[in-house]
Structure 1
Amino acid sequence: MTRPSDTKSRIQEVARELFLRQGVQHTSLRQISERLGITKPALYYHFNSREALLRSVVQPLIDELENFIAERRPGPPEELLADYFDLAWRHRDVLMMIVSDLTVLTELDLVSRMLAWRESLITLLVEPGAGPAARIHATVAAGGLSDCVVQYAELPFEEVKTAAVEAAVAALKP
């Protein structure tokens, strides 16, 4: 017998796959339920809306990113960027889903939160009182690192991490 939590996980897994392949806006709850071989009411038992299902798929990234930002203190940029890369890589499917369908940010009201997370990351990368040039370099470093996770997701982890972190650290230099 399948436990409800197993069904819920299966729904999230299929939704993640379809959201990534077809885009969030082009994936219906009917498609998800048909793919799983369950009724739409069975799906609604676990998620009362497509937005709730989408949020459940994105929430682990949100939680981990918020914890990452809250727990970090300024330190060696190489370490911070390497750890940030690891976080992004773990959630690359969700990041790819968001990048391929930016309406997700609006639908889940994440635009201001994403900008705040980026700002926090930049603050961790630059010295207090640093000028605009240092902040711009940090923005390029953080953004470029995230972009590499999405752009090169099919390449081996170590290959992408090594090159991306080296490039991000180089971007920090004036």
Structure 2
Amino acid sequence: MARELFAEQGVGRTSLQDIANRLGITKPALYYHFDSREELIRSILQPLVDEGEAFVTAHETLRAAKQVSPRALLEGYFDFHYKHRADLMLVVSELTALAEFGLVDRMRSWRERLTRLLFGGRRHAGAKKKKRVSAPGARWGSWGARRPGLLFGGRPTLEQSARATIALRGLQDCCLEFADADRDELRRVTVDGAIAALGL
């Protein structure tokens, strides 16, 4: 119910009273479960974060056992984003409102950690050194750094890094842009496109 209201009215224009009214309960009853609107929003997005961490952890194990393939990884990445496409759409459409809660920064940190795990723990060869900034989303789970990449080894080239960015972000965008398409067909053409972008 809360997710539907946020989508209809926007996060900033939806109060806890609005949510209580939609649920048919009193506002104090809603406060019994959630101390604040921020806590409610976090509870909506938490499954996305938890399952994302589980996805990465599983592929760390597969990498250690040398049992992972680019296609299997990208298919899993598609499945994850397709399952959570409603929450991802909420994040994308409410960047300003969610920034007030620090959730957007956490999601950016999450994607950065995932990319680092997939494609190497260091910047691409030839990249300029940047000042290190602490990730604001660290308390939502740290997925580690400076590991060999699942696809390109420990240090991808600029071309490989660019291809990886196109593949990952393009796959995510397709889950949002074509959400009404047949899932199996969308999965096939999207993963094929990501594989092509990676040059594999």
Task: State the TM-score, normalizing by the size of structure 1.
Answer: 0.85
2:25 to 2, 20, 38: 38
Contact 1:125 1:138 in 2 (8 A): no
State the alpha-carbon separation in 1 of the partners of residues 9 and 178 from structure 2: 19
Letter in 1 for 2:194: A
User: Are 2:160 and 1:146 equivalent residues in the alignment?
Assistant: no
Deviations 1:37-87 (A, max 9, x none): 111111110111000000000000000101111221443111100011011
Contact 1:98 1:105 in 2 (8 A): no
Which 10-residue stretch deviates more, 87-96 or 102-111? 102-111
Q: Structure 1 residues 106, 121: closer, same or farther in 2, change over 3 A?
A: farther
Contact 1:141 1:171 in 2 (8 A): yes
Q: Structure 1 residues 66, 105: closer, same or farther in 2, change over 3 A?
A: farther
> How far does residue 130 in structure 1 lie from its aligned partner after superposition?
2.4
Identity %: 45
Paired position in structure 2 for 1:56:
43
Which 10-residue stretch deviates more, 41-50 or 154-163? 154-163
User: Are 2:196 and 1:170 equivalent residues in the alignment?
Assistant: yes
Letter in 2 for 1:170: A
Paired position in structure 2 for 1:71:
58
Which 10-residue stretch deviates more, 86-95 or 16-25? 16-25
State the alpha-carbon separation in 2 of the partners of residues 93 and 171 from structure 1: 26
State the alpha-carbon separation in 2 of the partners of residues 41 and 15 from structure 1: 16
The number of residue pairs the alignment matches comes to 161
Paired position in structure 1 for 2:128:
none
Deviations 1:92-146 (A, max 9, x none): 1101111111132562241323322233233333233321111110111011001
State the alpha-carbon separation in 2 of the partners of residues 106 and 168 from structure 1: 33
Paired position in structure 1 for 2:114:
117
Letter in 1 for 2:152: V
Q: Which runs of 4+ in 1 moved over 6 A?
A: none
Matches within 5 A, 1:1-40: 14-40=1-27
Paired position in structure 1 for 2:125:
none
Paired position in structure 2 for 1:47:
34
State the alpha-carbon separation in 2 of the partners of residues 81 and 106 from structure 1: 32
State the alpha-carbon separation in 2 of the partners of residues 125 and 22 from structure 1: 41
Q: Which secondary structure state, in structure 2, belongs to the residue aligned with residue 124 of structure 1?
A: coil
Task: State the TM-score, normalizing by the size of structure 2.
Answer: 0.74
Paired position in structure 2 for 1:98:
91
The structure richer in helix per residue is 1
Which 10-residue stretch deviates more, 84-93 or 21-30? 21-30
Paired position in structure 2 for 1:5:
none
Gaps of 5+ in 2: 120-148
